[in-house]
Amino acid sequence: MSAQPVGSIKPTVTYRQLMELAEEYEAVAENRGRVARADITNQEITVHMMSPSNPHGELVMEIGFQIRSQDRDAVALAENRVHRPDLGLCRTADLLVLTREARDGQPEDFAVLAPDVSIAVEVVSPSDPGRDYVTKLRDYPRMGIPVYVIVDPRDGTITVHSGPDTSAGEPRYVDNPRRYKFGDTVQMGAWSVETGDFPRYRP
């Protein structure tokens, strides 16, 4: 008797099924008085329990407010999903900025389509910085997000990545990252953000 190949009949879960499961995970957490966000990649769901600090929330709101103040046609979405169904990728961003036209053209409410996003902003968490500096820096160019901003209240720095490119195999941002420190005027796509009052994490 010959051995059967392992894994040859493993079922494939559709992205739609994963979307439904992600929403169920988040609903269970909400029913228990917790906030969770579920990301999707490689046909797997990763659930993150959310407990943002005061500086984290303030930074997200301040950036969104400044952009909206400059451009009433800009839409700022906090803690919103962004996805590429054709790639089976879904991430939760601290802040997404898109035009009102792009917002109105979304085919569903589950997530914003990544090609319609103008900017994704992540405020680094002290407990899991790798998610912003590694995982999302890998996935956002793959998803086609044109500008990715990393705000790090640990050391008071801001890094702006742009120019997503997938032609060389591994997707990445090909433009030289623009690096700033808190206090600078930071160009984020078409908008500029004053960072002089940005709070840092306490030691």
Residues 27-64: tens digit of each pLDDT: 887 788 777 778 888 888 887 776 567 899 999 999 99
In this predicted model, what pLDDT tens digit does every residue of 155-202 receive, in sequence order?
999 999 999 997 777 889 999 999 999 999 999 999 999 999 999 998
Q: Is 17 helix (H, G, I), strand (E, B) or coil?
A: helix
- Per DSSP, which regions of 56-144 are E strands? 74-84, 89-99, 112-113, 119-123
Does 108 reside within a domain? Answer: yes
Does 134 reside within a domain? Answer: yes
- Please return the burial class of 46, using the count of CB atoms within 10 Å of its CB with bins 0-12, 13-18 and 19+: middle
pLDDT given for residue 7 in this prediction: 42
Fill in the DSSP letter of residue 116.
G
Is 167:21 a contact under the CB 8 Å cutoff? no
Does 43 reside within a domain? Answer: no
Does 27 reside within a domain? Answer: no
pLDDT given for residue 184 in this prediction: 98
How many angstroms separate the CA atoms of 42 and 65, rounded?
34
Domain containing residue 178: 52-194
| CATH number of the domain enclosing 85 | 3.90.1570.10
The tally of domains found in the chain comes to: 1
